[in-house]
Structure 1
Amino acid sequence: MNNNDRVEIGLQASVEGFANEHITAGILMKRYKNVSLVDLPLSPYDIIIVFKRGKGEDIIRAQVKTAKKTVKFTGGTRGGADRFYKSDVKVYRQSTKTADVVIGIEPDKNENKFNLYFIPTILIEALNQDSIFINKIVELKDNYEILEKCKDKSYVEKFCRKYSILKT
């Protein structure tokens, strides 16, 4: 593979990542309305979702990851066209300190339908790993209840144990 091929692959990966953030935001916006992309280049999350809770609001911070066979839980690395750029940013695993949920977006073969896998960072901390195969988290696919309750540790752990995503 020559350098031009690598550049083209990198550019395509970069475009795909940005497009998937927009697609995810659009899907969520149609359902929840108060959704926005985050335009902060150093932010560990890509989207915020604002829920009305009684008289207040609850903000969910979401990181979007393209899902092929796995969903990666790490950040801080460069992707796409900039993947060879070396910065002072350190690789980190998503946690409750950096985001509330990682959303894996999986396009079908024709890219005209998308599945969303909602993986609470509470679960990521409990799993203590950098990625997961999507066939291990089928119950999280398009599961909007888990998204809405992603900060509820008791609910997340009980749900994930019920479906053997988390071991007892």
Structure 2
Amino acid sequence: MKKLFLISCLFCSLTFSCSEVGEDSEIIIDPSVSFVTGDWELVEVSGGFKVEDSPEPEELNRKDIYTFTNEGTFIKTVDYEGFHAEATGTYVIKEVTEEFEEEYVGVVVLSFTGGDDIAYNCTSQDIEKESLYISKEGQLANISWAPCDGLFMYYEKKK
């Protein structure tokens, strides 16, 4: 009986220890409306290359917030050194192109329809559009503004 008990304990401990997720495991993100819905706040900015000593948003006196609804609409608010702006619009979630698949699982494409002109993009043909890439770590990233001397901007969902 003791042998059976010990074997059972050994089996259980092996089963549970093998099922633990390691630190380097990839987080699985479902790029859906339910994932995006809510408030997203700027948590990191960097210039042309993402570096360890990038300034914190507080150091820039900057606060950017996106609020996404289940109905496919959003509000973007920007507060930066006394400047306040707000814009509204609609969004859709698309698949990323092959070149971005290694780091991102989807892209939220914003179409601005009202309010201030605060779309961060690097193209003149889609001035009312902005793209936020959904990273495998669960952040939203505006990486398309940097080629025009803008910033890489990273957002996390507020709890």
Question: Do both proteins adopt the same fold according to a TM-score greater than 0.5, normalized to the shorter chain?
Answer: no
Larger strand proportion, structure 1 or 2?
Answer: 2
Larger helix proportion, structure 1 or 2?
Answer: 1
- Larger RCO, structures 1/2 (Cα 8 Å, 6+ apart): 2
Larger radius of gyration: 2
Shorter-chain TM band? 0.3 to 0.5
